[in-house]
A and B are shown apart, each in its own frame.
Chain A
């Protein structure tokens, strides 16, 4: 399953091949940007229905877990309102004390019982940061965005409609 469900696998694979996922040290949101107008809570699966992900709300945070996959990591998601768009800010729920929580961004929408997620394309993000001088640090072959939240928001909003900036949409279906 792609999107939130594939993030861990995607990131793990990227790390294994030495090409890290482009993460940010700062979140995409300030408190005032958090939204709750999408029905993210519930159980979701993809067309293959191999794994089922459970999303529950805990305050401002949505926590996604995959009880059917014992190797999956719980992921914290914040729903972020940027203009007319909605984004997810994804972080690990269990960051070790000697690590820094990384933030990964995705565009999200819910229509009826369909959840659509488009991850920001790590390669595109890396290339754009290099081209434009958008603040980043390269550590151990991994590009890490260091721009503050306000700059991240402007950047993401500027490219929100750019198809190159996002991976292809992944669709999940609500499990009743």
Chain B
């Protein structure tokens, strides 16, 4: 499901090309910001039915797995309410003891029974973070790591939530597998 595979692939590709995805050290949510009004649980497939992801409830969020992929990565998912919009805060569940967990943010919504996700545009995000002076560090490979605390992250994301340039033009479309 591209809700995850798109992003994981994006992350993998960007790592391969020497520039990692923009991740945050802090989550986009506090407990009070978590939403449960999206029917995420179940099996989801992309348009080509190439990947089937299973999502189940786990604690105050969800856990996603795709056993069929060649390099499966278990991810944690939290649905975040920012005003009228919903975002996913996605983290790896396979982090080793020497890794620092990163949070990736994507916009999510339902279209009928279909699930839609849209990733933040990486180039736009980097430029905007620098312009806005949002606390961050830049690694040697130009990967940007957000260090801003959750309230600042929320303000930043909410401010640009309806800005088309802030998001990838490609919307991930998924359908439920019954």
Contact = CB atoms under 8 A, between A and B. Distances in A.
Nearest to A103: B98
A90 B96 CA distance: 13
Contacts of A133: none
Chain A, interface size: which category?
20 to 34
Given A25-B137, A25-B139, A139-B25, A99 B101 contact: yes
B98 A92 contact: yes
B97 to A, nearest CB: 3
Residue among A27, A96, A99, A139 with max Cβ neighbours from chain B (10 Å): A96
B8 A97 contact: yes
8 contacts: A7-B98, A73-B96, A97-B20, A98-B23, A98-B75, A100-B145, A139-B100, A144-B25
B102 A98 contact: yes
Contacts of B21: 97-98
Interface residues of B, number: 30
Contacts of A91: 98
A27 B11 CA distance: 21
B1 to A, nearest CB: 15
B2 to A, nearest CB: 14
Interface of A: 7-8, 10-12, 14-15, 21, 23, 25-27, 73, 75, 90-92, 94-102, 104, 137, 139-140, 142, 144, 146, 148
A98 B8 contact: yes
Nearest to B150: A139
B67 to A, nearest CB: 16
Contact of B97 (A92, A96, A97, A140): A92
Contacts of B73: 96-98
Contacts, number: 100
B3 interface: no
Contacts of B75: 98
B173 interface: no
A25 B97 contact: no
A14 B97 CA distance: 9
Nearest to A147: B137
Given A25-B145, A137-B25, A139-B26, A100 B94 contact: no
A115 B6 CA distance: 45
Contacts of B91: 98
A94 B90 CA distance: 19
Contact of B101 (A8, A10, A94, A140): A140
B12 A97 contact: yes
A128 B95 CA distance: 27
Contacts of A98: 7-8, 11, 21, 23, 73, 75, 90-92, 101-102, 104
A137 B95 contact: no
A96 B94 contact: yes
B98 A146 contact: no
